[in-house]
Amino acid sequence: MTRTNDRPHPSRTKPVIAVFGAYGHTARFVTAELLKRGWTPVLSGRDAAKLEAAVAGLPGVETRVASVDTPASLDRAIAGAAAVINCAGPFGDTSPPLIEAALRAGIHYLDVTGETLVAADTFDTYRNDPRVKEAGIVVAPAMAFYGALGDLLATAAMGDWAAADALSVAVALDSWHPTRGTLLAGRRRAGRRVVFSDHRLRVLAGDEPPPQGEWTFAEPFGRQDVVGQFSTTDVITISQHLDTARIDTFLNTAPLKDLGDPETQGPRAADADGRSSQVFLVEVVVRRGSEERRASARGRDIYAVTAPIVVEAAEWILTGRTRATGVVTAGEVFDAEDFLRALPLDGLSLGGEG
């Protein structure tokens, strides 16, 4: 079923971008970002009533009901679009059918998965799939806070180094009120952690506790207790293209109590754009022998910032600012420093030598 809320907005002249899972929390930021930049979003998802509610107050925005169980409905959902942004998670259910639909239509595919195992599967399954090359499309999983930001910072920090001995990504959050999608994804992961050491990815079972330690962050966080092996999609994206023997990931322990709170209500809007007050800081350190290079980014609301990341990526892909097509990461195909500077961050530090 296709519905148009009103007549198309005359100022929207750029191509259509389909948003799947369009009434979710992150997708609403994505739609707002597309509209702000003059793209024409078409909103798609499995529930007609939720879709209609999502376009209330968005004149001219079209909705198309579609299910991942019905390929023809996905074909209709993305018909006429130049790219599809998949925001429907858990992504194990949605990424494969949406990528197949994008391949049939010959359009670019981006998603915002934070699920390491799903992102790894996407690279494993499609990296060498000749259909991706033949279609000349970009398939970009994990184009989000987790998956793109750490990868871009790591790429910028590496600079002209061809290889590093070790790379660390440390994330500090002052709080983390997770969405339903994040909680469901966490349940699917069931404690499993993806680690990268000795040049290879391994999946650890959930029964061994992760390592604990301390990390001294820049302000406003300072010294924090951290948990290691904090398995994020950064491990997957970075290991796809940067040559390092190991990747260590850390999260400060302070927000873990929010994540485990069964009464969580999700992120609470604290400004006119709907962003929560959550503050994040991502620090990347790369080491080669006794040398060290650093890069970091500070900003607000990991869900909200995902929208400018994935929309910026779609925009760069659709305007030819990519180094390659195929299954790619942000750091691999974009100019990392330029891309990072284009994001609405509150602080960005690049290329510091330690």
Ligand X SMILES: NC(=O)c1ccc[n+]([C@@H]2O[C@H](COP(=O)([O-])OP(=O)(O)OC[C@H]3O[C@@H](n4cnc5c(N)ncnc54)[C@H](OP(=O)(O)O)[C@@H]3O)[C@@H](O)[C@H]2O)c1
Q: Which is nearer to ligand X, 46 or 298 (CB)?
A: 46
Place of tokens 């510091």: 352
Q: Which is nearer to ligand X, 265 or 290 (CB)?
A: 265
* Shortest spacing between CB 77 and ligand X, in angstroms: 10
CB 163 within 8 A of CB 243: yes
* Shortest spacing between CB 68 and ligand X, in angstroms: 5
285 forms bridges with which residues in the sheet?
Answer: 168, 294
The token duo for 319 is 């305007």
Of the residues 17, 77, 112, 120, which one makes contact with ligand X according to CB under 6 A: 112
Is residue 45 a contact point for ligand X (CB under 6 A)? yes
Span interacting with ligand X, options 108-116, 219-227, 248-256, 289-297, rule CB under 6 A = 108-116
Instruction: State which H helix or E strand residue 167 sits in.
Output: strand 164-173
CB 267 within 8 A of CB 174: no
Of the residues 58, 117, 140, 142, which one makes contact with ligand X according to CB under 6 A: 142
Of the residues 52, 75, 93, 100, which one makes contact with ligand X according to CB under 6 A: 93
Q: What's the CA gap between 285 and 68, in Å, rounded?
A: 39
Span interacting with ligand X, options 35-43, 99-107, 173-181, 332-340, rule CB under 6 A = 173-181
CA 89 to chain centre: 11
Span interacting with ligand X, options 32-40, 87-95, 284-292, 318-326, rule CB under 6 A = 87-95
CA torsion through residues 295, 300, 305, 308, sign: negative
Q: For residue 165, which of 293, 353, 297, 336 has the smallest C-alpha distance?
A: 293
Of the residues 145, 196, 215, 339, which one makes contact with ligand X according to CB under 6 A: 145
167 contacts: CB under 8 Å, gap ≥ 6: 154, 158, 238, 242, 244, 246, 247, 248, 284, 285, 286, 287
Q: For residue 319, which of 10, 11, 14 has the smallest C-alpha distance?
A: 14
User: Cβ of 129: how many Cβ atoms within 10 Å?
Assistant: 15
Of the residues 34, 185, 295, 317, which one makes contact with ligand X according to CB under 6 A: 185
Of the residues 46, 108, 298, 300, which one makes contact with ligand X according to CB under 6 A: 46
* Shortest spacing between CB 162 and ligand X, in angstroms: 28
Of the residues 181, 210, 255, 326, which one makes contact with ligand X according to CB under 6 A: 181
Is residue 169 a contact point for ligand X (CB under 6 A)? no
Is residue 252 a contact point for ligand X (CB under 6 A)? no
For ligand X, the binding residues (CB under 6 A) are 21, 23-27, 45-47, 50, 68, 87-90, 93-94, 112-114, 142, 144-147, 179-182, 185, 233, 302-303, 306
